[in-house]
Chain A
Amino acid sequence: MAYVAVKGGERAIEAAHAWLAEERRGDPALAELSLAQIEAQLGLAVDRVMAEGACHDRGLAALAIKQSRGDLIEAAFLLRAYRTTLARFGASEPLDTGAMRIRRRISATYKELPGGQVLGPTFDYTHRLLDFALAAEGAPPPPAPRAAAAEATMPRVTGILAAEGLMAPEPASEAEPGDLTREPLAFPADRALRLQALARGDEGFLLSLGYSTQRGYGNAHPFVGEIRMGAVTVEFAPPELGFAIELGEITVTECQMVNQFAGSKTEPPQFTRGYGLVFGHGERKSMAMALVDRALRAEELGEAVDAPAQVQEFVLLHCDNVEATGFVEHLKLPHYVDFQSELEKLRELRATAQMAGQREAAE
C-alpha cells in the first residue's frame, strides 16, 4: 500500500526539541552566554521582555531570552506562562513617579523647567554609525561625567499646566482597578483596563498605531510634555499591618503626552493627556502607548471615532503579542479535516456552477 502515515509522532517531537537545544547552544567551542551577561549587556531586551511578559524580574527575563535564543516574543511568552502560576497576594500602593530617582527626564514643551532637562543614557543625538571598535572586545568605557543629583522631587510638566487650568484633570477614583489577567476584557473598557492592556501590548504594534495617529488616522496633535525614567519605590500595605512597607524599587519609564482638545458642550478648550508607563527603560513603547491611550479616549471626549487607533476592540484585542503569535502560528497545526470539507464544498460549488453554465449554453 502506498499510504505512509503523514501524522507525526512522539519520537519526532523529541528529536526536534533535542535539535532545538543544540541550535540554542550554538558552537560549543564558544563560551556560553551567562544570565548576568544578558541582564547587564542586553538590558533593553530584558526590559522589553519584562514589559510584554508583564512580570518584573530581570533574572527570569534574562533566562527567558537565553532559552528563546533571543526571540523576544517567545521570551515574553515564557515569562507570562511562569507569571500566571504565581500566587497573587495583593496590589501594591500606586507608584509615585513624582518622587522618581530620575536618570533621564526631558520635556519637548518647555526649554527651561524646574528640575531641568536630564538627558541620561540615550541613543538620541548619537550618530548611527557602526562602531567597529566595539567589534574588537576591549577595555570598558571610561566612567561618564555625571551632574549632581537633582532635587528630591521633580514637578511634572502636566502638573504645571494643570495649575493654570489648562490641563484636563483626570477623575480621581479610590476604586480598585480591574485586572485583565483575572477578568476578561468587556467593552467598552475603562481607562485603567485599557492602560493595563497597552502596558503589556506589543511595542511594534503600538508604535505603528501611534504613528498612524500622527499621519491623519486619528487627528492627533501631540507634544511630549515629559518623559522620565528612573527608579521608583514599590510599597505594599499588608492588611494585618494597616500601613505600607517598602518592598523595593524598580525602574520604569513614564511618558505624558499633551494633546489639543477643542472643547465640547460641557468642557472648555483645554489640553488632554495621553499616558504611557512601562517597566524598565522603554521610551519608544511609553511614547507609543501615550499616543494610543489618547486616541482611545476619543469616544469619552465626544470626538469622532473613525481611525483604527481609536477603536477599543480593534486595539485592545490585537495588541497582545502572546495572543497574536499563538493564533497566527496555530495555522501551522494540521487542518486536514477542515481543508477536506472545503475541498468537498468547493467541488460541489464548481459542479453546480458548471451545470448551470451547461444549461445556459443549451438554452
Chain B
Amino acid sequence: MTALGYNFGYLDENTKRMIRRAILKAVAIPGHQVPFGAREMPLPYGWGTGGIAVTASIIGTADTLKVIDQGADDTTNAVSIRRFFAKVTGVATTERTGEASIIQTRHRIPETPLRQGQILVYQVPMPEPLFRLEPRLAETRRMHALADYGLMHVKLYEDIARHGHVAISYGYPVLVGGRYLMSPSPIPAFDNPKMDRMPALQLFGAGREKRIYAVPPYTSVRSLDFEDHPFVPVRADAACALCQSRESYLDEVVVDDQGGRMFVCSDTDYCGTRQSHREAAE
C-alpha cells in the first residue's frame, strides 16, 4: 500500500529514469562524479536527499530495504527515511544487514561483509574530495580530468610533517580504480578498507550538490598514503561493552559526569546479533 497521490517511490518515472542513466554512467566510470538534475525531496537537503533519490530510482517491489545512520537502525533520521520509503513504496524493511537488498547509509559501512547482489547507497554531503583545498568546482573538474591530485598529496605530506600523522579521521580520500580521487562520504577512515573490492555495488548520492558517483563490485579502492607512512584505520582501543567485539567500530558513551565512559558498537545489527548468539551459546 503506497501513499495516495504519489508515484511508487515518490519520484515520477521520468525522473527515476534520468537518475538511473546517471547511475549507469557513474558505474561505467568508477569514482567519477556525474552531475544530475536533483529534485527537491520532501526531506531537507543535507539530511539524505541524494541517497533517497538514488534509492527511490532503483527500488522495486521485490526489494528489502535497510536504512542506517551512524551505523544504527534506530537513529531518528534513519527511522524517518525508512518510514518514508515504507509509505511511498510499501516495500519490506529490515534491520538485518544480511536480509537487505538495498542498504541506505549515512556515515558507516555495516560490519557484516556485504555480498554480491546487494547495493549500498551512501548519503553524501560534499561529493568533491578536494573542496577544502579548492572550492571552485570549475577548477576541481579540471583537476579530475587531468588526474592532477598533487594538491591532496601535499596536504597529506604537510599533515605528516606537522603532526607525524595524516590528520584526517573521516571522509578520508580514496583513489578508485587507480584513476579518480573520490570522497568516501564522511565514514570513519576505519571503514575505508571495506570499500576495496567489495562484492556489493556502492552508489553515492549528493542531492544538494547534484552529483552521483559509484564504485562497481570488486573495484579497487585505495586510501591515499605514502610508502613510508601507510594508511592505518583507527578505532577506539577497547571492546564493546555489550558484545565484547574488538573488531567493530565503537561509539564512546559518556555514562556520568565523573569522566566515566564505555564503548559500544556503532553497528546495532552487528552488536545485537552477536549478543543473541552469545546468549544462545550460554
Render B52-83 as a binary contact track against A, CB cut-off 8 A, 1 for contact.
00000000000000000111101111011001
Contact (Cβ within 8 A) A327 B125: yes
Contact (Cβ within 8 A) A3 B36: no
User: Considering the complex, which residues of chain A in the window 280-338 have a beta carbon less than 8 Å from any beta carbon of chain B?
Assistant: 313, 317, 322-323, 325-330, 333-338
Residues on the B chain within 8 Å of A12, using CB: 76
Render B120-143 as a binary contact track against A, CB cut-off 8 A, 1 for contact.
000001000000000111100000
Q: Contact partner of B242 among A3, A9, A325, A329, CB < 8 A?
A: A3
Determine, out of B95-103, B145-153, B251-259, the stretch whose residues face the partner at the interface: B251-259
Is B117 an interface residue, CB under 8 A from the partner?
A: no
Chain B's interface: helix, strand, loop or mixed, by majority?
Answer: loop
Render B154-188 as a binary contact track against A, CB cut-off 8 A, 1 for contact.
00000000011101111100000000000000111
* Cα distance, A337 to B189, chains bound together (Å): 10
By beta carbon, the residue of chain B nearest A326 is B45
Given A184-B35, A329-B44, A340-B252, A313 and B135 touching (CB < 8 A)?
A: yes
* Cα distance, A121 to B173, chains bound together (Å): 56
Is A352 an interface residue, CB under 8 A from the partner?
A: yes
Contact (Cβ within 8 A) A334 B75: yes
* Cα distance, A13 to B262, chains bound together (Å): 27
Contact (Cβ within 8 A) A335 B40: no
* Cα distance, A343 to B237, chains bound together (Å): 12
Contact (Cβ within 8 A) B163 A349: yes
Contact (Cβ within 8 A) A313 B107: no
Contact (Cβ within 8 A) A333 B69: yes
Q: Contact partner of A337 among B83, B241, B260, B266, CB < 8 A?
A: B266
Is A264 an interface residue, CB under 8 A from the partner?
A: no
Is B249 an interface residue, CB under 8 A from the partner?
A: yes
By beta carbon, the residue of chain B nearest A186 is B35
Q: Contact partner of B250 among A183, A317, A340, CB < 8 A?
A: A340
Is B108 an interface residue, CB under 8 A from the partner?
A: yes
Contact (Cβ within 8 A) B46 A341: no
Contact (Cβ within 8 A) A338 B170: yes
Number of chain A residues close to chain B: CB under 8 A: 53
Chain A's interface: helix, strand, loop or mixed, by majority?
Answer: helix
Contact (Cβ within 8 A) A342 B169: yes
Q: Contact partner of A2 among B137, B242, B262, CB < 8 A?
A: B262
By beta carbon, the residue of chain B nearest A9 is B74
Contact (Cβ within 8 A) B70 A337: yes
Contact (Cβ within 8 A) B74 A326: no
**Closest chain A CB from B115 CB (angstroms):** 23
* Cα distance, A353 to B162, chains bound together (Å): 10
**Closest chain A CB from B70 CB (angstroms):** 5
**Closest chain A CB from B159 CB (angstroms):** 10
Is B208 an interface residue, CB under 8 A from the partner?
A: yes
A84-B39, A338-B188 provided; 16 other pairs, C-beta below 8 A? A2-B255, A3-B262, A7-B72, A8-B75, A8-B76, A9-B74, A9-B76, A81-B40, A181-B37, A184-B35, A333-B47, A337-B186, A337-B188, A340-B252, A349-B164, A352-B165
Complex A-B: 30 CB contacts under 8 Å: A3-B242, A8-B74, A8-B79, A13-B79, A181-B37, A183-B37, A184-B36, A187-B137, A313-B138, A323-B208, A325-B45, A326-B47, A326-B49, A329-B46, A329-B47, A330-B125, A333-B76, A333-B106, A334-B70, A335-B70, A337-B249, A338-B188, A340-B236, A340-B252, A340-B266, A341-B170, A343-B236, A344-B234, A344-B236, A352-B165
Q: Which residues of B line the A interface, CB within 8 A?
A: 6, 10, 12, 35-42, 44-47, 49, 69-72, 74-77, 79-80, 83, 106-108, 125, 135-138, 163-165, 167-171, 186-190, 208, 210-211, 234-236, 241-242, 249-253, 255-256, 260, 262, 264, 266, 268
Q: Which residues of A line the B interface, CB within 8 A?
A: 1-3, 5-10, 12-13, 77, 80-81, 83-85, 87, 181-188, 313, 317, 322-323, 325-330, 333-338, 340-345, 348-349, 352-353, 356
Please name the 4 residue pairs, one residue from A and one from B, whose CB atoms are nearest each other, closest first. A326-B45, A330-B46, A184-B210, A326-B44
